[in-house]
C-alpha cells in the first residue's frame, strides 16, 4: 500500500475538469485568483468532450430575428416548465458571451464563407442557434479550455479521485482524495471549493432504464453529488 500523502493549499479548489470546472478556473485565474483544478480522469476526457451536436446561443448569425428571450422561451417550453426560470435566464442571456469567450480561447467554430459563425437547427429551436465544430464540438470546447488553462498556468491534477469534502462548522475548507494510478493520498486545503463534478445517473442506478441507457454509465457515477451530500 502506498502511504504517501501530498498536501496542497490554494485559494480556490475546482473539483472537476470538464467544461464547467475549466471555465470556472479560467475566470478565477484571469482575475488573479490562485486556483487549482482536480479531475479523476485525464484532462481531455470528460463528458464535455463527447458532446457532438453543438452549443446553443442566440447569436443571430443566420437568423437575425433570434433573441436570448426566444432561446429562454424555447428552453422552458421544451423542459415542460420543469426548468428553473432563473437558471434558464442566466444561461441564455450569457450564452453569446460564452461563445465569444470560447472564440477568444481559440475554439475553431464552423463558419460561413464570410466568417460568420455557422448556426443550425437543433431540438426545440424556433431559429437556427446551434454553433458547432464538425461533429466534435465538445472535444473542441474541451481542447480550447484546456489550452487556455495551461496558458494561464493553472495547475491541473489529473487522475485524482476526490472522496471527501473537508467541512468544519458547516464551512467547506478543502477536499481529500487519492491518485487512482499509484494510491498517493491528496489533502487539499482551500479557502473556497467549486464542485463541478458533472451530471449523474441516480446514485442507486440499478434499474434497467438507468444502467442500459446512460451513455457513460461507467464514468457518470454521481460521485460529485455524493461528496456534496
Ligand atoms: C454523448 C454526449 C453527447 C452530448 N451532446 C451535447 C450537445 O450536443 N450539446 C450540449 O450542449 N450538451 C451535450 N451533452 C451534455 C454536455 O456534454 C454536458 O452537459 C456538459 O459537458 C457537462 O459539463 P460538466 O463540466 O458539468 O461535466 P463533465 O464534462 O462531466 O465534467 C465533470 C468532471 O468532474 C470530474 N469528476 C467527477 N467526479 C469526480 C470526483 N469524485 N473526483 C474528481 N473529479 C471528479 C470528471 O473527471 C470530469 O473532469 C452531451 C453529453 C454526452 C455524454
Which protein residues touch ligand 1 with a CB less than 6 Å away?
15-21, 38-41, 46-48, 50-55, 138, 161-162, 196-198, 215-216, 223-224
At residue 98, the 3 state secondary structure works out as: helix
Strands (E), the chain: 5-15, 35-39, 55-56, 130-131, 156-158, 160-168, 171-179, 185-195
- Do both 59 and 124 map to the same domain? yes
pTM of the model as a whole: 0.91
- Do both 131 and 154 map to the same domain? no
* pLDDT on residue 123: 87
C-alpha cell at 198: 458533472
* pLDDT on residue 3: 84
- pLDDT more than 90, % of the chain: 85
Confirm whether 140 is domain-assigned.
Answer: no
- Do both 131 and 59 map to the same domain? yes
- pLDDT more than 70, % of the chain: 87
C-alpha cell at 172: 467547506
Mutating to test ligand 1, I would choose from 21, 24, 51 the residue with most ligand atoms within 8 A of its C-beta, which is 51
Measured distance CA(106)–CA(143) in Å, rounded: 9
Q: pLDDT tens for residues 72-109?
A: 999 999 999 999 999 999 999 999 999 999 999 999 99
Domain that holds residue 113: 53-135
Ligand 1 atom 2: the closest Cα is on which residue?
A: 51
Amino acid at each position: 500500500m502506498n502511504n504517501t500523502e501530498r498536501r496542497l493549499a490554494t485559494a480556490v479548489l475546482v473539483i472537476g475538469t470538464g467544461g464547467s470546472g475549466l471555465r470556472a478556473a479560467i475566470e478565477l485565474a484571469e482575475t488573479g485568483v490562485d486556483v487549482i483544478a482536480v479531475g479523476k480522469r485525464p484532462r481531455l476526457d470528460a463528458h464535455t468532450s463527447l458532446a457532438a451536436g453543438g452549443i446553443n446561443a442566440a447569436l443571430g448569425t443566420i437568423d437575425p430575428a433570434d433573441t436570448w428571450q426566444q432561446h429562454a422561451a424555447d428552453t422552458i417550453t421544451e423542459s415542460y416548465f420543469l426548468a428553473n426560470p432563473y437558471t434558464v435566464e442566466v444561461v441564455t442571456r450569457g450564452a453569446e458571451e460564452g461563445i465569444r469567450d470560447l472564440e477568444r480561447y481559440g475554439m475553431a467554430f464552423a463558419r460561413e464563407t464570410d466568417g460568420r459563425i455557422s448556426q443550425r437547427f437543433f431540438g426545440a429551436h424556433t431559429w437556427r442557434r446551434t454553433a458547432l465544430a464538425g461533429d466534435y464540438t465538445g472535444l473542441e470546447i474541451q481542447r480550447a479550455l484546456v489550452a487556455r488553462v495551461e496558458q494561464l498556468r493553472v495547475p491541473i491534477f489529473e487522475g485524482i479521485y476526490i472522496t471527501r469534502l473537508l467541512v468544519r462548522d458547516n464551512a467547506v475548507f478543502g477536499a481529500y482524495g487519492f491518485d487512482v494510478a499509484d494510491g498517493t493520498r491528496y489533502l487539499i486545503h482551500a479557502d473556497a471549493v467549486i464542485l463541478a463534478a458533472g451530471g449523474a445517473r441516480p446514485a442507486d442506478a440499478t434499474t434497467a432504464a438507468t444502467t442500459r441507457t446512460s451513455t457513460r454509465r461507467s464514468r457518470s457515477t454521481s460521485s460529485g453529488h455524493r461528496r456534496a451530500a
